[in-house]
Structure 1
Amino acid sequence: MSPRAGNAGPHTLAFVESPVQLLNVLEWAHEHAPGGGRPGSGRAPSRDGEPGGADTPPGTGLTLVVLSPIDPMTRGQLRRMSELAREEGYQVRWEEARGGAAAPFHTIGGLAGLLRRARRVVLGDPFSRYVQLLLTITRARDVVVVDDGTATMEFVGQLARGERLVRWHRKGGRPGPRDLLFAPVSSSARRRLTPGDRRRVQIFSSMPMEDMPEGVTVSANTFAWTRARFGPPRITKGADMVGTSLVETGVVDGDRYLDAVRALARTHGATRYFAHRRESTEKLHRLAVETGLEIVRPDLPLELIARRGPIGRTVLSFPSTVVHTLPLALSGTEVRVAVCDIDPEWLTENASPRAQGFLSGVTGAARDVHRLTAVTTEPATAV
């Protein structure tokens, strides 16, 4: 029986936990999914007031499963991205995956049948313990990993070197008790992310990669769907700045970061600051007061915001995913993306030993960007 007929369920299941992951699944589907999206194909009823919460109907080629986080900003962007996905004709299943102690058991139990029947699994965060647990259930022979920002670069390198999967900003050292408890699941997931005789693994990415695991195929994410769906944008004369969550993840000192933002804004005439969804309210309030920048909290990933416009002629950023993705999304426009290096003195004492090298690599590997040297900050303001 055809995988798209009868009660076979969805041919492809995609698991996303962030707006950027959902965007990149849409980009992958635009290029690769059988049947693709069909704009204007109608809306499915929702469950619990969330977008696309209805049980997935049979015969659907691609179903997006949102493993909803708790963070309000991320949830808001995921709601908007879910609506865009549905406008493209895809089914979206919203799971309150973290809504209480029993939520993971309810979510996994409800997805187990679909996972076993799916022929292909698409995932955005191979480091996610949630996703790793789901990978132990699936029998899918095709596994696709789409970008989850710069973390994809680290994932590919670790997979190629046979290392355990650890996010780059986590401090080095021995695994903790929770890591040891979860180690069998993580090892099983890593095996399922490794090509075998009956298993194909694909990376769909806009990121440059040096170490490539043997047998893994790579296809380029050029943001073709984004460029076809939005824009071209109206370009303003000034400069805009892109925020980062490096302070929130404990990599960069907060005072040093504020000083760097102030210096960049003054030097380049920036007037707007597009906040990262994980930046704290307190930090953003301080940035607004002490730099005079207009703080913008986007309701969509920055690639879509920039493509819709208006956007500054120059976009300033620290090392992050956008130094790779924005030039692609804004291809054919006159917008210049400029990236400022992270001075080693800005790093906190708790930063991972790999942090400086990883951030330098993110900047150095970026194409079609203007590279700025690290700005000078006043040591007296640092904690």
Structure 2
Amino acid sequence: MPVPDTAATTRAWVESPLQMVSALEASAAGELGDTVEVIYRAGIPSLAELAARLGTVALPAGTSVTAWDTRNLWLRGYPEAFGDAFSGALQARGTVARRRPLVVLDDGLATLHLLDLLTAPAGGPLVRARARPGSLRRALAGAARTRLLHLAREGHLTVFTALPVRDQVADAFTELGGRLVRHSFAWSASLREPELHGADIVVVGSAMATDGLIRTDAYARWVHAIADEGDGEVVYIPHRRESPAITATVADRPSIRVERGPWPVEVSLRCLPAGTVVHCLPSTPLLTLRTALADLGIRLAGSAVPDDWWTPNASARFRSGVVALGGTAT
């Protein structure tokens, strides 16, 4: 067990719907001890909506979900589990001096980036893939990497993920002493939340347009082309941070129906009927949905990002990473 003191309460700090579901999956799998408090960042609408929906379902035994202001997060010490290992606040307040076991929860592609940095012989400081940190921030992130490596060597670092970790990375992390625990959204699958109906074609939105990495007009044309090729209605699920302006540009015709909901797509799309086609750009959902939708008869179609979509904000390193994720899954 990564949290050996089962009599104590394990706190899992989450800042996105995927992190929240990951914490609940970890609790259901017994990776966080007997009593688990999932504490989510107050003031984020998507988290508040998901927490409200969770109030209507049976949570894993011994688990509760509570909103916390970031100013109060440290009143009871450092959380035993979290998703964002690149958070400067978490690194500054405890990662560099931590002695107790730690569980890192799914945070999308950032989780793969973390494992790459921890296992590479010349791995850099723990900063986000697109970050350009100053010298002080790099020093803090370097100290955080050193601390996590020390926890791994002591057998006190667990990464809990549904993402497909490359074999060489998984082996290297295990050789360091870390625990890599994989899951398949088993607890979420038991909910069978009926989120979508009448959808034969679904487009999962990408944050790349919202983050200014790809051109909005090109992104909208991609969705329009999918809608124009189909015979019926296309359901478009915007990224949780997508602006109303981008959504309006994308859904500018009656054949495109916008659907938003509190659940991450890894949960909400499980109710789709066999034969449904789900379109994604290279992103976290393209990877996690391969696991979440496995054996359901739902086709997952990944589209590459053409060179003329990119904006100057997308670095060469980021572009190459996206290219590596491209392709089609069934």
TM-score, normalised by the number of residues in structure 1: 0.73
Counterpart of 2:320? 357
User: SS of the residue aligned with 2:177?
Assistant: coil
Instruction: For 1:206, give the aligned amino acid.
Output: A
* Distance of aligned partners of 1:67 and 1:202 in 2 relative to their CA distance in 1, 3 Å threshold: same
Counterpart of 2:36? 62
The separation in 2 between residues aligned to 1:84 and 1:169, in whole angstroms, is 37
Counterpart of 1:131? 90
Counterpart of 1:163? 124
The separation in 1 between residues aligned to 2:195 and 2:246, in whole angstroms, is 29
Counterpart of 1:228? 190
User: Does the 8 Å contact 1:250/1:350 carry over to 2?
Assistant: yes
C-alpha deviations, 1:289-332, integer Å up to 9, x for none?
25741111122111221124468711111112222222322233
Counterpart of 1:111? 76
User: SS of the residue aligned with 2:163?
Assistant: coil
* Distance of aligned partners of 1:232 and 1:281 in 2 relative to their CA distance in 1, 3 Å threshold: closer
Counterpart of 1:77? 50
Counterpart of 2:146 (choices 175, 191, 215) is: 191
Counterpart of 1:303? 266
User: SS of the residue aligned with 2:209?
Assistant: coil
| Structure richer in helix, relative to its length | 2
Counterpart of 1:248? 210
C-alpha deviations, 1:248-278, integer Å up to 9, x for none?
1121111111111111222245511011101
The separation in 1 between residues aligned to 2:56 and 2:116, in whole angstroms, is 34
TM-superposed deviation, 1:19: 0.9
User: Does the 8 Å contact 1:316/1:338 carry over to 2?
Assistant: yes
User: Does the 8 Å contact 1:16/1:124 carry over to 2?
Assistant: yes
Counterpart of 2:67? 94
The separation in 1 between residues aligned to 2:304 and 2:319, in whole angstroms, is 10
Runs of 4+ aligned structure 1 residues displaced above 6 Å come to 231-235
Counterpart of 2:164? 208
User: Does the 8 Å contact 1:65/1:93 carry over to 2?
Assistant: yes
Instruction: For 1:229, give the aligned amino acid.
Output: L
The separation in 2 between residues aligned to 1:83 and 1:138, in whole angstroms, is 39
User: SS of the residue aligned with 1:289?
Assistant: coil
C-alpha deviations, 1:66-109, integer Å up to 9, x for none?
133x4433443344347657575413332122xxxxxx3x432x
Q: CA RMSD in A?
A: 2.9
The separation in 1 between residues aligned to 2:315 and 2:290, in whole angstroms, is 29
User: SS of the residue aligned with 1:203?
Assistant: strand
Identity fraction in percent: 28
- Unaligned 5+ segments in structure 1 are 37-60, 98-103, 371-383
C-alpha deviations, 1:181-236, integer Å up to 9, x for none?
43443233222321445352122222222334332221211111122232699885
Instruction: For 1:265, give the aligned amino acid.
Output: A
Tell me how many residue pairs correspond in the alignment.
317
